[in-house]
Amino acid sequence: MRKIDLQSDVNIPSPDWCFSLGLILDLSGEVCKKCSHGHFGLRKDSSFSNDIFYWKCSNKKCNKKVSIRNGSWFQGHNLSLEKILFITYFWIYKIDQEFVKHQLSICNQTIVDWYNYCREVCIEILEIDSEKIGGENVIVEIDESKFGKRKYHKGRRVEGQWVFGGIERDSKKSVFASVENRTKETLLKLIKDNIKPGTTIISDCWKAYDCLGSEGFEHLKVNHSVNFVDPETGAHTNTIESTWRALKKSLPKYGTVKSLYDTYFSQYCVRKKYIIGSDDPFLAFINLIKKVYNPEKQKQALITTETITVSVPQPASKKPRVLNEITNTLNSSMDDFQA
């Protein structure tokens, strides 16, 4: 496999761009909180960090040093800023990990870790921007599906993770969550937490949903054992069914551990809501990263807005001259000198 020239073929911004976007810590000209006197300036020293650049207080008696990664997406990691940005770029565009490994000369585990970090950002974003779906005159289709491998030697049962899902038929706003079981208590709590009262909910005939009509929702059911569209009400769950297929297709080919399912569901939702259709998918995700890892939040622990006070000698008040016949001229002169 031939390596491409990443710097020329892929437009990955420089650290200056990271500063301008607020992706890494900018302390330029800020007053150091440690000494309340010096100002932070950008210094260059390869022995301090892999980034070469760092912030340093101008007060020589203080010499406070701060990493440009402090509080950022890059903090606590040894990879260069450029490589981390490249990995993020490749994740956005669903680039195969073998290609990433070859192009960046990094190990598989590092790539896996960073792809996981990207999905963790997706979880955080959905929590930050969380909102209930549905509402008056809005149709939400709900369903549960089991994710995992089919065990043919066990009566064709699927061994895996149950997942609850809901999706607005028109806007395609959605919610997905792993569940331990499909009891009325578990599913009703999820529905109330994520779907607005007054919503028209369409489901299959699973018994746990029988109470929805008395819980503030309009409830329509479709009996899939008879037909896929109710002939009387026109109710169907085709939207959520097709979403299950797309969601399962987005999972790793050889499956994943149960603990990571929610990260993949969040990844799917974030791609649909924020990234697909954006003018610049990479920049769109970078802006999401900044909402989760905002270096500005670290500033108050490092800087101060106090006015720098400089000690200026004030003229001393003269002692009153005391005339005394005994005081000789020399003593008077000494008094004046001390005044």
In tens digits, what is the pLDDT along the chain, a chain of 339 residues?
Answer: 445 455 555 555 567 888 888 899 999 989 999 999 899 999 988 777 677 789 999 999 998 999 999 999 999 898 988 899 999 999 999 999 999 999 999 999 999 999 999 999 999 999 999 899 999 999 999 999 998 765 554 555 556 789 999 999 999 999 999 999 999 999 999 999 999 999 999 999 999 999 999 999 999 999 876 666 766 777 889 999 999 999 998 888 767 788 888 999 999 999 999 999 899 999 999 999 999 999 988 888 888 876 444 444 454 444 444 434 433 443 444 454 344
* Model pLDDT, residue 325: 41
218 exposed, middle or buried (CB, 10 Å; 0-12, 13-18, 19+)?
A: middle
> Given the DSSP bridges, would you call strands 218-221 and 200-203 parallel, antiparallel or unpaired?
parallel
* CA 339/CA 335 separation, integer angstroms: 6
**pLDDT for the residue numbered 219:** 96
pLDDT at 318: 44
Identify the residue whose tokens are 């797309």: 246
* Tokens matching residue 224: 């899939």
Q: CB–CB of 158/175 below 8 Å? A: no
Q: Are 221 and 123 in contact (CB under 8 A)?
A: no
Residue of 65, 47, 48, 68 lying closest to 56 (CA atoms): 65
- The residue whose two tokens read 């963790």 is 120
Alpha-carbon distance of 27 to 41, in angstroms, equals 7
The predicted pLDDT at position 302 comes to 86
Angle 203-205-208 (CA atoms, 0-180°, nearest 5)? 85
The β-bridge partners of 55 are 42, 66
pTM of structure: 0.77
Helix H or strand E segment including 303 = strand 303-304
pLDDT for the residue 337: 38
CA of residue 128 relative to chain centroid, distance: 9
Q: Would you say 83 and 105 are in contact if contact means Cβ atoms under 8 Å apart?
A: no
CB atoms within 10 A of CB 257: 7
Amino acid 101 reads K
| The two structure tokens encoding residue 206 | 């699973």
At position 247, the amino acid (one-letter code) is: L
